[in-house]
């Protein structure tokens, strides 16, 4: 629990050092490609410390992800609660709902790289238990789908679920871009060298348009530009 001046950290400091190193390396290289040896080397701790403090590699992954996503989701729900308390029985503006969903993830710290991990874990199967993963987002999905249904009473619930899903995809793409794709040239390389707040406004605007689009008809038809 104490820290001496030689640079050696003791006690629970080792835990957080492992978590920090794992979080960074997972975000950079992915889950499956990151070894415990890399993590412990980066953290400056002994190899066995991981199994001592976390039991196994899998539980370390779980804890890293929970520590990353937990505060974000709590902030999301708090944002929604706050806006709802101010609105009484009235439906929340669509922009408010989407902001509460996107802002906590996008604004997370000055370190843009960090949130990339969440985007990655969603795409990597097997490593992280789907049920554990779902438990972390179950409450979020229910709350936001409920608010969206109240704000968009004319949109069928299935359509709302679909568009919520699509918006999550757009948001993950934004998180990916914010992390910076090294070595990726082309029109998207310069795209993310902008303030986070601008990315937030843009993805929310895109989402508003998507949610306000007319419900899909039963068949294909003409459409004006």
Partner DNA sequence: AGGCGTTTCAAACAAACGTTTGTTGGAGGT
Partner DNA sequence: ACCTCCAACAAACGTTTGTTTGAAACGCCT
Residues 44-63 that bind a copy of itself (CB under 8 A): none
9 - beta bridge partners? 3
Identify the bridge partners of residue 3 per DSSP, sorted by sequence position.
Answer: 9
The CB-of-67 to a copy of itself minimum distance in angstroms stands at 20
Q: Which is nearer to DNA, 53 or 67 (CB)?
A: 53
Q: Return the structure tokens found at 57.
A: 């590699």
Q: Which residues of 90-99 are buried (b: 16+ CB within 10 A; e: fewer)?
A: ebbebebbbb
Q: Where are the alpha helices (DSSP H) in the chain?
A: 12-29, 36-43, 48-54, 57-87, 94-106, 116-121, 130-151, 157-179, 196-212
Answer whether 102's CB lies under 8 Å from 80's CB. Answer: no
Residue 48 interaction partner, one of DNA, a copy of itself, none, beta carbon < 5-8 Å per kind: DNA
By a kind-dependent CB cut-off of 5 to 8 A, residue 1 interacts, out of a copy of itself, DNA, none, with DNA
Q: How far is the CB of 43 from a copy of itself (least distance, A)?
A: 20
128 near a copy of itself, rule: CB under 8 A? no
Site for a copy of itself in 83-112 (CB under 8 A): 91, 93-96
Dihedral pair phi/psi, residue 35, rounded to 5°: -100, 160
Site for a copy of itself in 8-47 (CB under 8 A): 28-33
**Residue 7's binding partner out of a copy of itself, DNA, none, with CB under 5 to 8 Å set by partner kind:** none
* CB 69, min distance to a copy of itself, A: 16
């Amino acid at each position: 629990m104490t820290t001496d001046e030689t640079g050696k950290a003791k006690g629970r400091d080792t835990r957080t050092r492992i978590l920090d190193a794992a979080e960074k390396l997972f975000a950079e290289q992915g889950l499956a490609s990151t070894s415990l040896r890399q993590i412990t080397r980066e953290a400056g701790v002994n190899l066995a410390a991981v199994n001592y403090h976390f039991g196994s590699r899998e539980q370390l992954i779980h804890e890293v992800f929970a520590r990353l996503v937990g505060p974000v989701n709590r902030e999301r729900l708090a944002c929604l609660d706050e806006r709802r308390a101010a609105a009484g029985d009235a439906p929340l503006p669509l922009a408010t709902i989407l902001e509460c969903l996107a802002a906590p993830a996008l604004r997370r710290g000055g370190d843009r790289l960090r949130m990339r991990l969440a985007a990655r874990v969603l795409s990597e199967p097997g490593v992280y238990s789907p049920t554990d993963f779902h438990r972390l987002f179950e409450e979020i999905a229910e709350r936001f789908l409920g608010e969206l249904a109240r704000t968009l009473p004319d949109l069928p619930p299935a359509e709302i679920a679909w568009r919520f899903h699509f918006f999550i995809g757009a948001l993950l793409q934004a998180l990916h871009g914010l992390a910076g794709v090294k070595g990726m040239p082309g029109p998207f390389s310069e795209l993310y060298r902008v303030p986070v707040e601008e990315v937030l406004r843009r993805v929310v605007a895109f989402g508003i348009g998507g949610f306000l689009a007319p419900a899909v008809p039963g068949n294909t038809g003409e459409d004006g530009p």
